[in-house]
Chain A
Amino acid sequence: MLKYIVKHYKGYLLGFFCLTITNLLGAYIPQLIKQAIDMLSSLDSDALFKLLLWATLMAVLMALIRTASRQIIFARGREIEFDLKKDIFNHLVTLPPSYFANKQEGLVSTQAGSLISVITNDVQSLRMLGGFAMLNVFNTLVAFAITLPLMFQLHEKLTWAFLTLIPIVVFFVIALSSKIKTYQTWVQEELAKVSEFIEQNLSGIHIIKAYAQEAAELKRFEGFNNGLRDAYMKLIQVRSFIGPVMRVIASLGFVLLLYIGGQAIIEQEFSAGDFAAYTLYIQRLIWPIATLGWLITLVYRGQVSQARINSILDVDPSIKDRENAIEKNSFDSKIELKTLARTINKGEKVAIVGRIGSGKTILANKLMHLKELEDGEIFIDGVDLKDIKLDSLRSLINIVPQNNFLFSNSIAENIAYARELEPEQIEELAKLVCIHDEITALPEGYQSIVGERGVTLSGGQRQRIAIARALAVDPEVLILDDSLSSLDEISARNVLCNILKQRQGKTTIFVGHNQVLLEHMDQVIELEAVDG
């Protein structure tokens, strides 16, 4: 957090400067009002009028500068929000897929819903710290620094009495805030449980419906829901005190004013104008004190949020460029799989087969270094894969992943995802994977939006669009991870032949057990089953 604040120090300094001037004016105006009230009895209406006019001018000036100060500091909060969002996102997309498959990592669930909640809610609470809280903390400091001497000048004893209220505030804040922190964390945890449960339930809704588990799920949900409510009830008990405590302290300030100020007037130490000015001063200081409670809540919420954000940012991307990693911009001769003692030559068509759980997908991901590698496991043109810069490696080798995920965009945009394409090129690719006719049969054709996971398309249709999307990139090495499994035999044969024709001279690796497939391969790599 500090890092981000420091980054924007110039803006903050400017904002603080404006705030200081605002506060100077804010202290000056009650002085004018005091003079005016004391003039009331003198009946010099001309002088009074001039004084009031001057005060009006000052009030307008103050409004202008205050606007500037708030705008500047709040904008810094937004800048911090921007930076945080950028950093979190950029970090997330470099994490290996295994991070997202583990459902919990540190304080944060790695399901999309929870990550969104971090990048909106938690970042928002840090934005509040960087904007609202920064403004108020500084405002409080300046207000005290400027107003207190003036108050002492007006009446020393009264000001000391007033200052005794501050330890009381601090006491309450400390007493309440540790409890709030405990309950706040509890609420966050319960909330995370609820949202995780809903997310899982909805992601697996087809399973739940297929086995008629709605009632059982509802019962489980009730448990989580009640847990969240109970946590909130505890938090509420403490939180209900904050607002009233702060307000009662403001009122106590006035009780003191009446008691000591009243005596002072009786003893003629104090004029009516002094009394009025003092009222305004107290009001100037009360607001900062009152927001103190609020600030504490903000700071605690900020701490919780910061911890959650850190548990994302601190995840070490286990796969990253080595210090002296090299660029590799071409694939010249061969890929060596040392542990399997197999070699894949440039331009070959290779199938990887094996029983379930034998690690076919893992091997595919290793080839692209999407999965952790041992030293000396895989070599490309004699260079250890681990010594190659990820970016250059991944522009040589691409995968059509097994899950056939399609983005919630049009079909055309999905095919042209990794490379800009002309409409004709998109159609050409669709024809290549034998899906052109099926796309044009849709009411919106290529512009049809596919649902979150492309649900209104059949499994085979999704598979073929995913293949087209990868063929658009046309990398040196393309790995198709079980990409023909949802196709019928005739379609699979046609698509396969088209792919092989298109990729003449380039290396293509198929993962799968399709009989059709094996007929066309240059070599078949069979993985041993793990021993149960």
Chain B
Amino acid sequence: MDNLKLLKSLYPFIKPYCRQLILAGLILPISSATYSVQPIILQQAIDGPVKEGRLEGLWFYVLLLLGIVAINFLFQVLQFFIMNKVGQSMVANVRYSLFEHLESLSMSFFDRNPVGKSVSRMTSDMEQLAESFVGGLVLILLDVFNILGILIFMFYLNWNLSLIISVFLIPIYLVTIHYQKIFRDSNLRAREELSKLNSFLQQNVIGISVVQALNSTAKSMEKFAKNNRKYFHANDSAIKADAQLSATIEMISILAILALIFISSKLISAMVLTLGVILAFVQYSQSLFEPIRNLSDRFTVIQSAFTAIERMQELLDEPIEISDRHCEEERRSNLMHNQKPSTRLLRSARNDDEHLIQFKNVQFKYDDGPKVLDDVSFDVERGKKIAIVGKTGSGKSTIIKLLTRLYEVNQGSIILEGKKIKETPQAELRTKVAVIHQDSYIFAGDLESNIKLGRDESKLDMDLARKFLELAPGLSQLRDLQSASRISAGEEQVINFARALVARPEILVLDEATAKIDLETEQAIYKLLNEYIEGKTLITIAHRMQTIENADQVYELSDGKITLKS
């Protein structure tokens, strides 16, 4: 069973709550028994004191019933509470694991998966899981136990009548299965339409500037209305199935009572049936069908739980393409072979000055795109200023993304300070090599927290950051970045400089870092930068010639190859 496998994948998240689950499991039969025994008490009272006309005898049964109802109530509250608590705790654990996993995935995952999709994996899907874990899984158990309890008590009372009632379980089961299938198919279709509708909405919100700038709002409205209509109609058969199912089951339960009476008329003449038994059966026939009817609802609910688990698993199964595994392995093997690290260190230190960074025959292409880099080799010495030029789309930015291991090379290797970058923990690598990208992102919060980004404050040089920020006069007036609309693209790039330089990196990479900044400000930035960069290593990617004037070496990238320009 596939579903069983899915349930198993939840196990690690439920494990800490095993005790509570066992407790809830123990309560289950008690609350079922106290529920299904109630008609028997009614029967005992009617066939006993009521028939004999003893009022005080009736009192006893009334009190007994009241007691049982009270116990049933307490245990049910307890049960719901425990199960909801376990459900929510579990979901919180799942959510944490999902986020943890998400953070360690490589950039190629984020290229393939829109933000909205991952957000809904972790919010609405998880809500669904919590709701359906309790509303589906747990209530199904409760219903099953209730059905069992009722059947046991019914057969205990009278097996003839019980058989009649049980016969009606068959049409109910068949009808439920039939409608369930329609319902599920229709739901699936509806969900597909809904996700289409939502991604259309999301695209229009993210791209609102394009929608309005090209005067396409009317067109967007029209298209949305069309998708919306489709979604509306995708629900038609689900509504129909739902209405027919509940009406049919109600009808069958009435028919069961009618059949019960008909058969009773045969039996009562044989004097094997008492009034109390008939009345108890009228109640049983109603209360037996209710959990069965619920079961069908629960299966719908649980289906969505399985969908949520499936999606969760899908995300957790997403391989971590770029991990620190190699560095750990190496450390371990060093320990095992008791290899003296000093020799390695010596060697790398010697290499260091000549070859701070080495690209050796690097080949790379994005997922299913064309080859971007084809056999790229070059060296960067410590303290040198390097520039990489090339036409747009030639793969300049890609080189930098590979250097900081945001993507993994297909072939060849990249070496930093004599060590393959695979063997350096990612965090260490990215702290060593600071990159100022062309794209930025401003997080909600204030300017300061956007510069610090949660880094250890004692290691940050806020004065240096401030010097850069002063170059954008508009920024110094900002306290709060909630109204990010006031930050222009050029200002974002200035923030990028402050973010990178605040940590005083030894190796700095500029990737079209000033493309959106005017010439005057650009010159001011470079003036400030040159003071700082003295003796440190700088790699600049640019297409504006004046930005690379001071380079010691200029490399040109074209057709996936790199050449040194004089």
Contacts and interface: CB of A to CB of B under 8 A. Distances in A.
B392 A461 contact: yes
A450 to B, nearest CB: 10
A279 B261 contact: no
Interface stretch (B6-14, B122-130, B166-174): B122-130
Given A59-B258, A97-B212, A400-B213, A233 B438 contact: no
A356 B486 CA distance: 12
B286 interface: yes
B411 interface: no
A417 B392 contact: no
Contacts of A222: 96
Interface string A268-295: 0000100110011001000000000000
A56 interface: yes
Nearest to A319: B212
Contacts of A186: none
A314 interface: no
A219 to B, nearest CB: 8
Contacts of A212: 426-431
Contacts of B442: 204
Contact of B88 (A232, A402, A513): A232
Interface in A391-448: 391, 394-395, 398-403, 405-408, 417-418, 438, 441-443
A325 interface: no
Nearest to B243: A70
A49 B515 CA distance: 91
A501 B545 CA distance: 26
B455 interface: yes
Nearest to A66: B247
B443 A200 contact: yes
Interface string A42-53: 010100110010
Contacts of A530: 473-474
B224 A491 contact: no
A504 B128 CA distance: 57
B26 interface: no
B563 interface: no
A489 B545 contact: yes
A370 to B, nearest CB: 6
Contacts of A453: 206
Contact of B49 (A95, A262, A456): A262
B95 interface: yes
A459 B255 contact: no
A85 interface: yes
Given A56-B258, A236-B84, A214 B104 contact: yes
B210 A117 contact: no
A266 B88 contact: no
A241 interface: yes
Interface in A78-124: 78-79, 81-82, 85-86, 89-90, 92-98, 100-104, 112-113, 115-117, 119-121
A399 B470 CA distance: 30
B370 A470 contact: no
Contacts of A452: 113-116, 206
B116 A112 contact: yes
Which of B213, B218, B429 has the most C-beta atoms of chain A within 10 angstroms of its own C-beta? B213
B142 to A, nearest CB: 10
Contact of A71 (B85, B243, B482): B243
Contacts of A486: 392, 438, 512, 515
B368 interface: yes
A221 B512 CA distance: 32
A60 B251 CA distance: 6
Given A120-B194, A254-B42, A266-B53, A216 B455 contact: yes
A505 interface: no
B543 A103 contact: no
The contact size tier of chain A is: 35 or more
Nearest to B92: A229
The secondary-structure label for the interface of chain A is: helix
The secondary-structure label for the interface of chain B is: helix
Contacts of A68: 243
A255 B489 CA distance: 73
A529 interface: yes
A23 to B, nearest CB: 12
A368 interface: yes
B213 A370 contact: yes
Interface stretch (A5-13, A173-181, A243-251, A377-385): A243-251
Nearest to B454: A216
A248 B518 contact: no
A255 B53 contact: no
Nearest to A394: B215
B177 interface: no
Contacts, number: 477
B69 A252 contact: yes
A456 B392 contact: no
Contacts of B212: 93, 96-97, 368, 370, 394
B410 interface: no
A355 B473 CA distance: 10
Nearest to B216: A418
A86 B230 CA distance: 13
A513 B55 CA distance: 100
Contacts of A266: 49-50, 53, 55, 58
Contacts of B473: 357, 529-532
Interface in B480-535: 482-485, 488-491, 493-494, 499, 503, 512, 515-521
A158 interface: no
A150 B295 CA distance: 32
Interface in B448-496: 453-455, 470, 472-477, 482-485, 488-491, 493-494
Contacts of B122: 194-195, 198
Contact of B512 (A75, A201, A237, A459): A459
Contacts of B231: 82
A354 interface: yes
A259 B477 contact: no
A316 B513 CA distance: 37
Contact of B516 (A101, A232, A263, A485): A485
Interface in A157-188: none
A391 B212 CA distance: 10
A213 B243 contact: no
B384 to A, nearest CB: 22
Which of B209, B244, B427, B440 has the most C-beta atoms of chain A within 10 angstroms of its own C-beta? B209
Interface in B202-259: 202-221, 224-225, 228-229, 231-232, 235-236, 239-240, 242-244, 246-248, 250-251, 254-255, 257-258
B80 interface: yes
B84 A239 contact: yes
A100 B102 CA distance: 26
B119 interface: yes
B246 A70 contact: yes
Contacts of B414: none
Given A202-B118, A216-B455, A265-B50, A63 B250 contact: yes
Contacts of A356: 472, 474, 488, 490-491, 493-494, 516-518, 521
B58 A102 contact: no
Contacts of B389: 488
Contact of B123 (A112, A198, A263): A198
Given A211-B453, A489-B543, 6 more contacts: A67-B243, A78-B239, A240-B81, A272-B275, A391-B218, A401-B210
What are the 6 closest A-B residue pairs judged by CB atoms, nearest first?
A: A532-B473, A460-B392, A357-B474, A356-B490, A101-B485, A204-B441
26 contacts: A40-B264, A41-B268, A59-B251, A93-B211, A93-B221, A104-B482, A113-B202, A115-B205, A116-B198, A199-B119, A209-B404, A213-B455, A216-B454, A221-B99, A226-B92, A236-B85, A279-B279, A356-B493, A357-B475, A399-B209, A451-B114, A459-B438, A459-B512, A490-B391, A491-B391, A530-B473
